[in-house]
A and B are shown apart, each in its own frame.
Chain A
């Protein structure tokens, strides 16, 4: 971190910047041999991030995606100074996250989906008062942000309820409201929609979009739900095995993955063979297939289905982005051939 002097010009319009950042962890490997575990334990080095370069401009809404263990949370922890990198340099809002943690935390908001900053045995309102004092938030900013949080997240119905008695959706709303109180310039959200029902998730997504669009907040968000991410963000950064494998607009991902589509047939018989399409799964009388739209046109497909008299209904659609990504992750797990684009 001593050499983490990035250009000053970048500080103004760059919210976060990682240059050649590598972060490794060691994992203890215990065997059935008790004596070996006791006196000569072995460790395995896991590279969570491998020479990652990433720049996030102010005002961007970036989705950060990847399978479990890809290094998403590690990136967040590095950006807020909880961890220090093994190699490389990084800056968050122009500051060194480890050395300038206190100054950074006045401008940064971070929320981990499985953690809460609310005071468990106190009403929600108490946590907000607590944060005002701990962050030393000026009264004017506090009132403005509190009004904003209450309006967008509808906090009033459970304002005086003990945090321990909130539903998961209410807790996430309260936590997000709490995060907004000091008007952070950069918001890091790790799995904010984790475990939320459809309605709560919708509200969370709408709030984040409003924060970015109307208030210019820079947001970096992770989620396992790629459909949510692609709906929210203008830019998608994908990690696999500690490296960035895709960085661009969500539509660009489909271009890499091909134009995969779904075909769902309803018929009483077992799933029929459809030339050019592969059966993905069946649920009762509904059978879903995947096909590449560039290789098989819709007219040719419908012509083929017309030869199947037992079919009573036909549905066509785009393949869910998760299915597309799953295929890509499998591909990325293979060693890359020289010259393969990332």
Chain B
């Protein structure tokens, strides 16, 4: 176990270096990447925020509370980009569907360590996270939220719970690629995008059963809305436990089904191999 943690930190170092080399391979490329990251950051926040400003709030949240929620949403999607965006680790159905898991099986490392390290992009993938932190801090100051250690700890717990709900769901649906590689090759990106599209909206205006549906069944509300409500003190205290439990549940189910899928992979092999770069 200790060896795996050691390997994980060693590999984060390797992938950080690879990411830095990739980002700095060319001046134009480097500038364009940073500039497009800034634009993407702004646009992800502005749409909903301008609506909130125009109508004096959305879904029971004030404009500043919406801004806080959007900042939190960008922290979660920033964490996703930081740890899982690279090399199709988040989009794992691509690797499964293209028969490219073999490249991972020849490495002398547990698959979990590889999956937790290979997507690490601290340089090219940290723009959204940094933007999210900035927006969250601005909104928290405007709302006079307490920057106490327990509150920051709760924020981190909510952020990582939301992250693992997102990743767990992507892996859960990706399991189908073991059984139907051609049809399910892109299913993880469908799940990731569907959650991302709905994840940045306040759900306060919806009916109770629809809110429950979007929190428990299709947990888009867990990416930003519910955590923001908890951090703003607008939800019952018990709700804070729901997110980590849901994250554990989804990741646990995904892990069990993924292992079953791996057994199927070992029994039947890959029906197809696409030689296009297995990391792109």
Q: Residues of A at under 8 Å CB distance from B?
A: 25-26, 74, 77, 80-84, 98, 101-106, 108, 110, 112, 114-115, 117, 119-122, 126, 129-130, 133-136
5 of the cross-chain contacts (CB-CB < 8 Å) are: A82-B266, A108-B106, A115-B273, A119-B279, A121-B25
For the complex, give the distance between the alpha carbons of A120 and B278 in Å: 9
B10 touches A81 (CB 8 A): no
Name the residue of chain B whose CB is nearest to the CB of A1: B266
CB atoms of A25 and B268 under 8 A apart: yes
Instruction: Indicate whether A105 sits within 8 Å of B18 (C-beta atoms), given known contacts A26-B268, A133-B10.
Output: no
Bound-state Cα–Cα, A117 to B109, Å: 15
Given the contacts A121-B22, A122-B21, A136 and B7 also touching, CB distance less than 8 Å: yes
Selected contact of B266 from candidates A83, A108, A114, A121, CB within 8 Å: A83
How many angstroms from the CA of A102 to the CA of B11 in the assembled complex? 16
- Residues of the A chain whose Cβ atoms lie less than 8 Å from the Cβ of B273: 114-115
Chain B residues with CB under 8 Å of A105's CB are: 105-108
Chain B contact residues: helix, strand, loop or mixed = helix
Q: Kindly supply a per-residue 1/0 record for chain B positions 227-254, scoring 1 wherever the CB is within 8 Å of any chain A CB and 0 otherwise.
A: 0000000000000000000000000000
Q: In whole angstroms, how far apart are the Cα atoms of A106 and B108 in the complex?
A: 6
Given the interface pairs A82-B266, A134-B109, the reply to whether A119 lies near B103 with Cβ below 8 Å is no
Q: Which residues of B contact A110 (CB under 8 A)?
A: 106
Q: How far is the CB of B121 from chain A (nearest CB, A)?
A: 13
Contacts of B266 in A (CB 8 A): 81-84, 98
Question: Which residues of B pack against A, CB within 8 Å?
Answer: 7, 10-11, 13-14, 17-18, 21-22, 25, 102-103, 105-110, 266-269, 273, 275, 277, 279-280
The residue on A at minimum CB distance from B278 is: A115
**A126 pairs with B18, CB closer than 8 A:** yes
Q: Would A134 and B107 count as touching, CB distance under 8 A?
A: yes
Cβ of B275 and Cβ of A120 under 8 Å apart?
Answer: no
Q: Please state if B108 and A135 are interface contacts (CB–CB under 8 Å).
A: yes
Residues of B within 8 A of A134 (CB): 11, 14, 107-109
Closest residue of A by beta carbon distance from B102: A82
B269–A102 CB distance below 8 A = no
Residue in B25, B105, B109, B268 whose beta carbon sits within 8 Å of that of A81 in the complex:
B105
Top-10 shortest CB links A-B: A105-B108, A133-B14, A120-B277, A84-B266, A106-B108, A102-B108, A82-B105, A82-B102, A83-B269, A114-B275
Q: Which residue of B lies closest to A84 (CB)?
A: B266
With a cutoff of 8 Å between Cβ atoms, the chain B residues found around residue A114 in the complex are 273, 275
Expressed in whole angstroms, the Cα–Cα distance for A126 and B21 within the complex equals 9
A80-B105 contact, Cβ under 8 Å, with A114-B275, A115-B275, A120-B277? yes
Q: How far is the CB of A38 from chain B (nearest CB, A)?
A: 13
Q: Cα distance A110–B10 when bound, in Å? A: 24
In the assembled complex, which residues on chain A have CB atoms less than 8 Å from the CB atom of B280? 120-121
On chain B, the residues within 8 Å of A106 by CB distance are 108
The docked-state distance in angstroms from the alpha carbon of A77 to that of B158 is: 42
Cα A26 to Cα B17 with chains together (Å)? 43
Closest to B105 in A: A82
Cβ contact within 8 Å between A133 and B11:
yes
For the complex, give the distance between the alpha carbons of A134 and B108 in Å.
8
Q: How far is the CA of A119 from the CA of B17 in the complex (A)?
A: 13
Q: What CA separation (Å) do A232 and B102 show in the bound complex?
A: 27
A120, B279: Cβ atoms under 8 Å?
A: yes
> Could you tell me the distance in whole angstroms from the C-beta of B183 to the nearest C-beta in chain A?
13
Write the nearest CB–CB distance from A83 to chain B, whole angstroms: 5
Residue of B nearest to A28 (CB): B271
In the bound complex, residues from chain A placing their C-beta under 8 Å from that of B269 are 25, 74, 77, 82-83
Q: Which A residues are CB-close (under 8 A) to B268?
A: 25-26
Specify which of B7, B18, B267 is in contact with A122 (CB 8 Å cutoff). Answer: B18
Closest partner residue, chain A, to B15 (CB atom)? A130
A130: contacting residue among B14, B102, B106, B267, CB under 8 A: B14
Report whether A119 and B108 are in contact in the complex, using a CB–CB cutoff of 8 Å. no
Q: Which residues of A lie under 8 Å from residue B109 when comparing CB positions?
A: 102, 134
A103 to chain B: which residues have CB within 8 Å?
108
CA distance A129 to B10 in the complex (A): 12
B29 to chain A, nearest CB (A): 11
**Could you tell me the distance between the alpha carbons of A80 and B248 in the complex, rounded to whole angstroms?**
33
Residues in B with CB closer than 8 Å to A130 are: 14, 18
Residues from chain A with Cβ under 8 Å of B14 in the complex: 129-130, 133-134
| Cα-based distance from A158 to B25 in the complex (angstroms) | 17
Question: In the assembly, what is the distance between CA of A108 and CA of B268, in Å?
Answer: 23
Known: A74-B269, A82-B106. 16 other contacts (CB 8 A): A25-B268, A80-B106, A82-B102, A83-B266, A102-B108, A114-B273, A120-B277, A121-B22, A121-B280, A122-B22, A126-B18, A129-B14, A129-B17, A130-B14, A134-B14, A135-B108
